[in-house]
Amino acid sequence: MSQCCAQEERIMFADARSKRIVLVAHCVLNQNARIDGCAFFPGAMGDIARVLVESGVGILQMPCPELECLGLDRAGRLRDGADIGIREALLGDKATACRELARGVARQCAEYRKHGFTIIGAVGNDGSPACGVDLTWYLRGPAPGTGAFIIMLREELAATSIEVPFTAVRDNEWAAGLERVRELLGHPTACS
């Protein structure tokens, strides 16, 4: 057998990696990206970040569309002198930029899948105007719904035939969020 053929038959990524990936909202691992007054940790979200790291999965930290599209001082987004809200801005005049961020995450997922990796799920941040899964922040406050980036990410993943479960953490419900992350990772709900 020639060396060329031997290289073609080589199994890629047969090393220590888990080949399991979880998508994680940016602020779960970096509270510094949060809007002013909304950071609850100095860095990452404590036990939630620890469980992700200790699980052995690869963590794909999604971009923060609020930070990238609207900046760190993003409160009070105005249009014609009226506050339109962050979610509305990401679905409105910043939709193209927000969609490109979602498309980039979907491209990464497709590349991993092409090489036999498993995308086990995505962790959003409920209450976020961008990354809320079941609860988002509208102009007047929190309400059931999905954040702008998660809407676009689901659409972009579907366009690449990738279907993953979504779950979320929430700022004032750490224990419940931790259990949801453990369930997504396939861990028993008992503390480890």
Give the list of residues 6+ apart from residue 43 with CB closer than 8 angstroms, or none.
30, 31, 32
Q: What's the whole-model pTM score?
A: 0.87
Q: Would you state the pLDDT for residue 76?
A: 65
**Amino acid (one-letter) located at 125:** N
Q: Summarize pLDDT for 53-84 with one digit per residue, the tens.
A: 999 999 999 999 999 999 998 876 655 666 77
| Mean model confidence pLDDT for the chain | 88
Q: Summarize pLDDT for 91-147 with one digit per residue, the tens.
A: 999 999 999 999 999 999 999 999 999 999 999 999 999 999 999 999 888 999 999
Q: Map out the domains of the chain as residue ranges.
A: 16-185
Conformation bin of residue 164: beta by default, left when phi > 0, alpha when psi is -120 to 50: beta
Q: Would you state the pLDDT for residue 10?
A: 58
* Residue 138, CB-side half-sphere exposure with 13 Å CA sphere: 8
Q: Which fold has domain 16-185?
A: Rossmann fold (3.40.50)
